[in-house]
Each structure stands twice: as C-alpha cells, then as structure tokens.
A and B are shown apart, each in its own frame.
Chain A
C-alpha cells in the first residue's frame, strides 16, 4: 500500500471509533461538547503519530518478548508530555478532560496501531498511519461532540446555533446521550455501506419461483422441509 493509502484508510475504511469500534472510553466520555472532542482528538493525534514514529524507529532493537512493555513506556512518556504541555498552554481544557488525558496510555488505538502496524512497517508509513488514524479519531470525536452539543445544549463550539425557543435535550450531553448518538451513527454508517454495496436495491421479481434469485435461503429451507 502506498503512503497515501495508509493515511486515508484511517479516515473511512478503518475509522477507529465507528468502523473498528476501538477507543470507545474517551469517545463516549468526553464528547459532551465539540471542543472537548476536538481537544481530546488532538492529544491523541500527537501521541499516536509520535508513538508510531518512535516504535517504528526502534522496532529492530526491541526484543519480541518485551515489546508490549516497550510500547507502553513510549506511549506513557508521550502522554505525560501531552499532559504537561496541556497544563502549560491549555489549562481549561486540561481541567475539563481530567482523568481522560492520562488514560490515553491505555487507549487501545495507541497500542493497537503500535502492535499491528508500527512494529512491522517503516517510519514514513507508520507516521502516515498514525496521522490518518488520529485524524479519523479526531473527526469522529468532533462530529459526535457536535451532535451532542447542538441537540443537548443548542450550541456549537460555544456559539448558539439553534433557533430562538429551542428546548435543548439535556439527555444528549449526559452519558446516555453518548450511547444513543454512537448507536445512531453506527447504524447510519452500516446503512450507507449496505446501500453502497448494492444490497439495498429493489430485488427484481424472481422468474422461476421463490428462491431462484439467490437473495435468500428460503428455497433451501423449503427443501430441508
């Protein structure tokens, strides 16, 4: 695969939270507003790109038996670095994200990409992979956060976007709202893929009795009877 493909696969085909359904803990927990989602996503991009780069650089000297420990050391150091930088330059964001910044260490996307990709591929490809996955994660979180903020609070990035007299659905910015939104997004994406694969088209009337179109297993079941 080319570098570009490594980059773009994280944006749709292997979109971490919605297609791989990985890294759901921060996805559900911090997306009660669009800028929280964006902030978390940027922190993950930073950690993911650098951890992929470092791991792919040192992959030949890491003994196979302690590779997970090495990956965790690298990821944990980067997360502490993010935490320090966030405290120094974006303190309000640090206060809002709270415990979820240190928890990036155990985010399965980081370790998953390290183990599945960076440990086997070159530096450039690993950076592209991390960037694509991180960007996909960020876009997903921002999208989910936007939906929840717009319907739950009537604002988007803190600016009012809904009409006068709009009654916000408080549940959307609370924990159940995260599950509802995630479920609807997953359903919509599956529907889109189903439709794109052509399975959603109207089935033409079968010519030689039911089951001849091969769309279902009705005939076989009838045979069994």
Chain B
C-alpha cells in the first residue's frame, strides 16, 4: 500500500514540476518565437504574395480587433508611399491540423492578390501540394469569396487532397471576411 502511494506521489510531483517548468519556459520564449515565426514563416509567405513591396510589411504590421472580438494582424504593402495591398493570415481546417494561409488583397478593387501557405501538417506529396504554385496561382486576382469547382466555384482542388484544398479555401474566405470587416479601419490606419 505504501509502495503504491509513494509511486503515485513521486510520479505526480515529477509531472507537476515539469509542467510548471515548461509553462514558465514557454512564457519567457513566447516573444522570441513570435519574432522568429514572423521572419521565417510569415515573411517568405508575404514575399510570395506580394513580390514588389517597397516597405517592410512585417515591421509595419498592426493589430486590429474584429467585431467578433477576434484579433487579426494586418501586414500593409506600400508602393510609392501609398497603400496598394494588405495581407492577413487565417486558418482553415486541414487533414492534419490547421492550414495557415497568408492572403493578400489589392486595396484598389478588393480582389485577391495571391495566397501563400504558412503553417500546415498535411500529408507530404498529397495535401502538401496545396502549397505548389499550380494550386495557389488560381487565387491570383480572383474575387472573394472563392469556392472549389465541386461547390460551383472556380478553384481546382488538388487531386487526392480535397480536404486540404477545402481547408485552404476556407482560410482564404475567412481572411476575406476579416478584410471586408476591417476595410475602413485599414484605410484610416495607413491613409497618407
């Protein structure tokens, strides 16, 4: 009996201590990790979406709050001192977890400027192919909301990866919704 109690106590104390230590470590590394993700994940995705930004979208990013209370980070794209586009990231449900998509909008006519995948855990060779240009270029200059061909839209799903394709489309549409909701604020923030 004493042995069992001792077993339970030792294991619980050990797990508790490690839990505390890890949550503390997570807290103190959170800002550094966010910075690194911006540089190595969102940065390259932004470059794929807008090739000729004259500012640094990451340094100029700004946080906004949607009417629903959701927080969104918006990356502005400037050319000649004027706002020509914005990009924002959103997530859709994929096969192996959330699919993060950086969605760019042309501010002149509200069409999509392009999309770039940020984080996802899809199947290599199948779902991962939604990051290929063959799929992503279909979003260029399309009008939101978009939908897959089998839903009556114009986007060709990656064959064998319907769930990943649908997840990407879902992320794009959520981003478009956020963009529409934030449009007045966005224009006010970077109007010069």
- Chain A contact residues, CB within 8 Å of chain B: 58, 61-63, 65-66, 69-70, 73-74, 76-77, 80-81, 84-85, 87-89, 91-92, 95
CB distance from A75 to the nearest CB of B (A): 10
Docked-complex contact B26 and A63, CB < 8 angstroms: no
- Chain B neighbourhood of A61, CB < 8 A: 10
Chain B 1-36, CB-CB to A under 8 Å as 1, else 0, gives 001001100110011001001100110010011001
A63 to B13, CA, bound (A): 13
B177 within 8 A of A: no
Also in contact, A84 and B39, with CB within 8 A (given A63-B6, A66-B11, A73-B11):
no
A171 to B3, CA, bound (A): 55
A88 to B28, CA, bound (A): 10
A-B contact pairs, 17 of them (CB 8 A): A63-B7, A69-B11, A70-B10, A70-B11, A73-B15, A73-B18, A76-B18, A77-B21, A81-B21, A84-B25, A84-B26, A85-B25, A87-B36, A88-B29, A89-B36, A91-B37, A91-B40
CB distance from A30 to the nearest CB of B (A): 16
Docked-complex contact B26 and A91, CB < 8 angstroms: no
A77 to B3, CA, bound (A): 25
Size of B's binding interface in residues, CB under 8 A: 19
- Chain B neighbourhood of A95, CB < 8 A: 40
CB distance from B91 to the nearest CB of A (A): 19
A88 to B25, CA, bound (A): 11
- Chain A neighbourhood of B26, CB < 8 A: 84
CB distance from B86 to the nearest CB of A (A): 25
- Chain B contact residues, CB within 8 Å of chain A: 3, 6-7, 10-11, 14-15, 18, 21-22, 25-26, 29, 32-33, 36-37, 39-40
Query: Please, which residue of chain A has its CB at the minimum distance from the CB of B11?
Result: A66
Docked-complex contact B14 and A70, CB < 8 angstroms: yes
User: Which 8 A-B residue pairs are closest in the complex by CB-CB distance?
Assistant: A77-B18, A88-B32, A91-B36, A88-B29, A91-B40, A87-B33, A63-B7, A88-B33
- Chain B neighbourhood of A85, CB < 8 A: 25, 29
Also in contact, A66 and B7, with CB within 8 A (given A88-B36, A91-B39, A95-B40):
yes
* Given A80-B22, A88-B29, A91-B39, 20 more pairs with CB closer than 8 A: A58-B14, A62-B10, A63-B3, A63-B7, A63-B10, A66-B7, A66-B10, A66-B11, A69-B11, A70-B11, A70-B14, A73-B14, A73-B18, A74-B14, A81-B21, A84-B26, A84-B29, A88-B32, A91-B37, A92-B40
CB distance from A51 to the nearest CB of B (A): 11
Q: Which residue, A58, A65, A84, A85, has most C-beta atoms of chain B within 10 A?
A: A84
CB distance from A60 to the nearest CB of B (A): 11
A63 to B32, CA, bound (A): 39
A92 to B26, CA, bound (A): 19
